[in-house]
Structure 1
Amino acid sequence: MTDGAARAAPAGGDRPPTTVAADLLAATKRRENPDPFLATLSGYDHDDLAPLRTDRHRALAFWTNLYNAGTQLLLERRPEIYDSPLRVLRFFRAEAVTVVGTGLGLDAIEHGILRGGRSKYGLGYLPRLPRPLERRYRVTCDPRIHFALNCGAASCPAIRAYRPGEVDDQLDIATASYLDRVVEYDPDRDVARVPRLFLWYRGDFGGGRAIRAMLDSYDAVPADVDPRLSYRRWDWSKAPAKFA
Structure 2
Amino acid sequence: MSSTEQTGSSATTLDDPPATLAQNLLVACKRGDSTERYRDALARATETDLERVRENRQVGLAFWLNCYNAGTQLLLEERPELYESRLRFVRFFRAPAITVGGTSLSLDRIENGILRGGRSKYGLGYLPKFFGTALERRYRLSHCDPRLHFALNCGAESCPAIRAYEADRIDEQLDLATRGYLNATVAYDSEAGVVRVPRVFLWFRGDFGGGSGIRSFLREYDAIPENATPSIRHLSWDWSKAAGTFVD
Q: Does the 8 Å contact 2:120/2:128 carry over to 1?
A: yes
Structure 2: gaps (5+ residues)? 1-12
Q: Match of 2:212? A: 209
Matched, 1:124 2:125: yes
Q: Match of 1:54? A: 55
Counting only pairs closer than 5 Å after superposition, residues 131-150 of structure 1 correspond to structure 2 as: 131-139=133-141, 140-150=143-153
Matched, 1:220 2:223: yes
What secondary structure sits across from 1:104 in the alignment?
strand
Structure 1: gaps (5+ residues)? 1-11
Q: Match of 1:155? A: 158
Counting only pairs closer than 5 Å after superposition, residues 10-29 of structure 1 correspond to structure 2 as: 13-29=14-30
User: Amino acid of the residue matched to residue 117 of structure 2?
Assistant: G
Counting only pairs closer than 5 Å after superposition, residues 1-244 of structure 1 correspond to structure 2 as: 13-128=14-129, 129-139=131-141, 140-244=143-247
Cα distance between partner residues in 2 of 1:20 and 1:154:
27
Q: Normalising to structure 2: TM-score of the pair?
A: 0.92
Following superposition, the deviation at residue 50 of structure 1 comes to: 1.1
Q: Match of 1:8? A: none
Following superposition, the deviation at residue 126 of structure 1 comes to: 0.7
Cα distance between partner residues in 1 of 2:101 and 2:54:
14
Measured against aligned partners, the alpha-carbon deviations of 1:27-76 in whole angstroms (never above 9, x if no partner) come to 00000110000000001111110111211100011000010000000000
Q: Does the 8 Å contact 2:156/2:242 carry over to 1?
A: yes
What secondary structure sits across from 1:166 in the alignment?
helix
User: Amino acid of the residue matched to residue 111 of structure 2?
Assistant: E
Cα distance between partner residues in 1 of 2:89 and 2:150:
19
Following superposition, the deviation at residue 233 of structure 1 comes to: 0.3
User: Amino acid of the residue matched to residue 54 of structure 2?
Assistant: R
**In angstroms, what is the RMSD of aligned CA positions?**
1.0
Structure 1 runs of 4+ with >3 Å offset: none
User: Amino acid of the residue matched to residue 167 of structure 1?
Assistant: I
When you count helix as a share of all residues, which structure comes out higher? 2
Cα distance between partner residues in 2 of 1:204 and 1:59:
19
Q: Does the 8 Å contact 2:14/2:37 carry over to 1?
A: no
User: Amino acid of the residue matched to residue 151 of structure 1?
Assistant: C
User: Amino acid of the residue matched to residue 169 of structure 1?
Assistant: E
How many residues are treated as equivalent by the alignment?
233
